[in-house]
């Protein structure tokens, strides 16, 4: 599977992408950051479906439809709140990426786009988060998935460099 950093708002992607990942919270009922942006762009039907899911534990992933977004699915995953669980945070973040990839495969997706999970409101240091992301995605044995994008917002130039470096280290060309 190929992996690339893309500078783009994840709610407004032009490429043919089957599913986007949401960095949600345990309630799955919306919030700030990328979660808020995804709910606003997908519309109120997303919240209705999320209410039926019974929340999501850190590291797990659950899928919904994407409603007004162009993709077929949204995969909601919950990262670790870094300062509350530093010791187990790497394993939780690894499971966010792993479980999202497995779910996308089960749904038959070819292309997935991730945000930088847990590095905003949840406070995960981006260098460490990028290593976990790169290692997990690079070692993933996919069934249907062919391409993964990591989306960073245009003003997040540091994140762009950090993820590019991490991908160059773990992904063989």
Binding mask 114-143 for ligand AR6 (x = CB under 6 A): -xxxxxxxx---------------------
Residue 138 three-state SS: helix
Annotation says 35 is catalytic: yes
Q: Does 148 bind ligand AR6 (CB under 6 A)?
A: no
59 vs 120, beta carbon nearer ligand AR6:
120
Touching ligand AR6, residues 69-108 (CB under 6 A): 79
Distance CA 163, CA 127 (A): 8
DSSP code at position 84: G
CB nearer to ligand AR6: give 37 or 144. 37
Give the span between the Cα atoms of 120 and 3, in whole angstroms: 21
- Residue 55 is a binding residue for ligand AR6 (CB under 6 A): no
Enter the DSSP assignment of 140. Answer: -
Distances (CA, A) of 76 to 123, 156, 168: 18, 22, 27
| Token digits of residue 45 | 């039907």
Q: Which of 108/125 has CB closer to ligand AR6?
A: 125
Element holding 92 (H helix, E strand): helix 89-106
**Number of residues binding to ligand AR6, judged by CB under 6 A:** 25
Closest CA relative to residue 1, chosen from 114, 151, 145:
145
Using DSSP bridges, classify how beta strands 2-7 and 61-65 pair: parallel, antiparallel or unpaired. Answer: unpaired
**Least gap, CB of 160 to ligand AR6 (angstroms):** 10
Question: Does residue number 59 form part of the binding site for ligand AR6 (CB under 6 A)?
Answer: no
Q: Does 16 bind ligand AR6 (CB under 6 A)?
A: no
The contact set with ligand AR6 (CB under 6 A) reads 9-11, 23-25, 31-35, 37, 79, 115-122, 151, 153, 156, 159
Q: Which residues are catalytic?
A: 35
């Amino acid at each position: 599977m190929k992996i690339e950093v893309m500078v783009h708002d994840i709610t407004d992607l032009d490429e043919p992408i089957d599913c986007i990942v949401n960095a949600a919270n345990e309630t799955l009922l919306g919030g700030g950051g990328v979660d808020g942006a995804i709910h606003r762009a997908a519309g109120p039907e997303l919240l209705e479906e999320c209410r039926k899911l019974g929340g999501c534990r850190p590291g797990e992933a659950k899928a919904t439809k994407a409603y007004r977004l162009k993709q077929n699915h949204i995969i909601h995953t919950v990262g670790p709140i870094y300062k509350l669980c530093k010791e187990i945070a790497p394993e939780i973040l690894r499971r966010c990426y792993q479980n999202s990839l497995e779910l996308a495969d089960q749904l038959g997706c070819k292309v997935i786009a991730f945000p930088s999970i847990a590095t905003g409101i949840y406070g995960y240091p981006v260098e460490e988060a990028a290593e976990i992301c790169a290692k997990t995605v690079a070692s993933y044995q996919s069934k249907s998935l062919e391409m993964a994008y990591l989306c960073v917002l245009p003003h997040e130039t540091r994140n762009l460099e950090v993820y590019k470096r991490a991908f160059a280290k773990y992904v063989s060309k």
